[in-house]
Structure 1
């Protein structure tokens, strides 16, 4: 019924227009009454052609959509599309979809006002064109697309209009062969495809991030596990050596080791400790070393109490202290001093472990698994926000510094109070 009414309406419109034109021509140009028969044939031919054109339009619309109704038969298509992204992203998606539309010749987009206007060249579906041009299918103005994106919270509401570039009253006489219906459907499919691709990309990134996080945790656990036995093996080896020469001191060392393991050693699943806990761990370690080295080992700590609660990676301070002893002071005849210094500057906590040992000499230097683990763990935990440097300590020895982000409020408050007192 809808198809019949559409064909009848268009045939009637052409019939009325051609009849008026024929009467006007007959009264102004022709005086012979026989000309009226020729004009009547012209009117009937025009109506027949209009009916054929309308029928062809109905058939093409049915071919494109599978159904025929007032909305699909119209040469002017309007769509309301909800894009599940904020308005800016929705605008980018719809703009890209229009630019990829076949026949798009001129696309004017204004991101600030969230509007897009485009001219679309009519692509004849049957490569004919003579009869279609007579009915306006491929007129010089072609078709146009007008899009407005309206913010709707975290989503973007897209109003899409596809229409011929001609006056609306011409729709009584001219059809577009489903061109604007095809454009509207194509843009809708393109938007749906791009939204689906964005969703798949987000899901893939989420899976990748979860996998990378699991891998990072596994690497951190492995590196942490590699550091802890390193200290334990050295301590037990020293205790074994002392059992032969000084059993009492060996007993004291083992007692200190038990206390160390009970109170200081963290579980391997803890990525971060605090600077205060790590300092306790280092002191416990050095207490064990003092038993073996005696007065040859001295310690100086410059870490303010307000920094003890600062988050700090577990076992890193321990690694630096152990390397200072092993590669710097243990092999030095007179021993030496280990300095542990912590400073905060411009949001960065810098912890330095320095010694006055043998430095980078061929006999005393070395950067083994412990220091490699420090670098790798800092990279995994902080990325480019952390740093690790090793330099010579004048006049002798080595200074190793770990720098990590620091955002403690205690530092800012204490600094302000100190300035007020000054």
Structure 2
């Protein structure tokens, strides 16, 4: 209550002094200066309107702010808002929030200097004022408010916003005029809009993360299903071949079983698609190819060129195996003469490329697969590495197909 009375007294005193000054000037006028009643009537009417306006300002500020203090009563409002985004993103978010204000009239935004200036028309909070255009208080009224917002970049890649909402007039007018809480409303509205947009951004990021996690789980499930479908078939054929060889060539049967054990040892399940290494995946692929060489005989030739220094490169499990199986199934098995499988790895500019090539039927061959295996590899690369990894499948020269994985060199996955 004391603050409210002090505020009204301050406004009334300022106007009283102004009226007294005007009375002194009136009395110095020739002829009409002898009549005191016009200036007295004007003074009393003005003081009544000023006091009524001050109490109206108090009531509206209490209504919209829920309290009366120095910060809420002032015509000029300042806010410091922390936005957890990079300064450019924070500026765009702030600019959009200001442009959505009611009665916004003119916005000047400079992204390079991270500043926004805007003009906002004042609403007629209580309709037409008493006495209309004859109201002396309105002769000095201010029709618009203005906004100045500056984004300051911080070291932690966030943006700190300094927001100023004030009347479109000098600070001296604060002794005589009130803004009916309109600048407090504008400052709070912008703060709420920024908070809402930040929350929406967070929700979208959380939804995207949840979707990515779901996609990853689905991809792992599809991979597990693929293993469940392929491995029993492969194991059946290998064991059947070994059984036949035990009668005619026990040494080769023993060799085949040894390669099968090696293959199965490297095929033990990993938790949550844990990263393997290029060396481990190469050993699995070579064990698989050695088994096929026993079954296919001279129809299959294998050439490997993988430097020892690259064998520790992190690699998602079964990717190399998928490319090798594709080369066998769709490239060499359909050919009566068989062919050659090349496995090659190179490092260049912070990346490792792993290529599996064959000289088989090629992309236009008779054996056309569904593409599920390659699509699965691409999806796993996207979920694991984002845009830092890729799979390219092109025609080999003079025949066959070359599939190349491009991966970050000896780095952990970007997306977990």
Which TM class, normalised by the smaller chain length? 0.7 to 0.9
Alignment partners' CA distance in 1, 2:87 and 2:69? 32
Secondary structure (helix, strand or coil) at the match of 1:3 reads helix
1:188–1:258 distance in 2 versus 1, CA, 3 Å:
closer
Deviations 1:240-267 (CA, angstroms, capped at 9, x unpaired): 4446x62736743663355334654443
Deviations 1:187-218 (CA, angstroms, capped at 9, x unpaired): 22222222222333333333333333333333
Query: Which stretch shifts more, 257-266 or 142-151?
Result: 257-266
1:174–1:260 distance in 2 versus 1, CA, 3 Å:
closer
Aligned to 1:92: 92
Q: Report 1:24-35 matches (<5 A).
A: 24-30=25-31, 33=34, 35=35
Secondary structure (helix, strand or coil) at the match of 1:20 reads helix
Give the RMSD, CA atoms, in angstroms.
Answer: 3.6
8 Å Cα contact 1:328/1:365 also seen in 2 = no
Alignment partners' CA distance in 2, 1:21 and 1:50? 16
Which one has the largest radius of gyration?
1
Query: Which stretch shifts more, 164-173 or 251-260?
Result: 251-260
CA-CA distance at 1:129 after TM superposition: 4.3
Deviations 1:67-113 (CA, angstroms, capped at 9, x unpaired): 22333222222223333334333333322221111111111122232
Aligned residues, how many? 399
Task: Note if 1:228 corresponds to 2:231.
Answer: yes
Deviations 1:267-294 (CA, angstroms, capped at 9, x unpaired): 3556654444444444434444454455
8 Å Cα contact 1:320/1:400 also seen in 2 = no
Task: Note if 1:60 corresponds to 2:60.
Answer: yes
CA-CA distance at 1:168 after TM superposition: 1.8
1:132–1:217 distance in 2 versus 1, CA, 3 Å:
farther
CA-CA distance at 1:306 after TM superposition: 4.6
Q: Report 1:159-178 matches (<5 A).
A: 159-178=162-181
Task: Note if 1:17 corresponds to 2:21.
Answer: no
Deviations 1:376-408 (CA, angstroms, capped at 9, x unpaired): 2243225774335364764xxx62322111455
Aligned to 2:110: 110
Deviations 1:34-58 (CA, angstroms, capped at 9, x unpaired): x223432332222222222222222
1:176–1:278 distance in 2 versus 1, CA, 3 Å:
closer
Alignment partners' CA distance in 1, 2:281 and 2:405? 15
1:42–1:102 distance in 2 versus 1, CA, 3 Å:
same
Aligned to 1:416: none
CA-CA distance at 1:235 after TM superposition: 0.9
Aligned to 2:214: 211
Alignment partners' CA distance in 2, 1:218 and 1:137? 75
Alignment partners' CA distance in 1, 2:79 and 2:328? 75
8 Å Cα contact 1:378/1:387 also seen in 2 = yes
Deviations 1:129-179 (CA, angstroms, capped at 9, x unpaired): 465764249946521112223334334332222111122222222222222
1:272–1:351 distance in 2 versus 1, CA, 3 Å:
farther
8 Å Cα contact 1:84/1:156 also seen in 2 = yes
Alignment partners' CA distance in 1, 2:83 and 2:130? 41
Alignment partners' CA distance in 1, 2:379 and 2:162? 48
TM-score computed with the length of structure 2 as normaliser: 0.79
Alignment partners' CA distance in 2, 1:198 and 1:388? 34
Q: Unaligned regions of 5+ residues in structure 2, if any? A: 411-416
Alignment partners' CA distance in 2, 1:257 and 1:343? 23
Query: Which stretch shifts more, 10-19 or 101-110?
Result: 10-19
Secondary structure (helix, strand or coil) at the match of 2:373 reads helix
CA-CA distance at 1:121 after TM superposition: 0.8
Aligned to 1:45: 45
Aligned to 2:413: none
Alignment partners' CA distance in 2, 1:332 and 1:49? 101
1:249–1:330 distance in 2 versus 1, CA, 3 Å:
farther
Aligned to 1:412: none
Task: Note if 1:354 corresponds to 2:364.
Answer: no
TM-score computed with the length of structure 1 as normaliser: 0.78
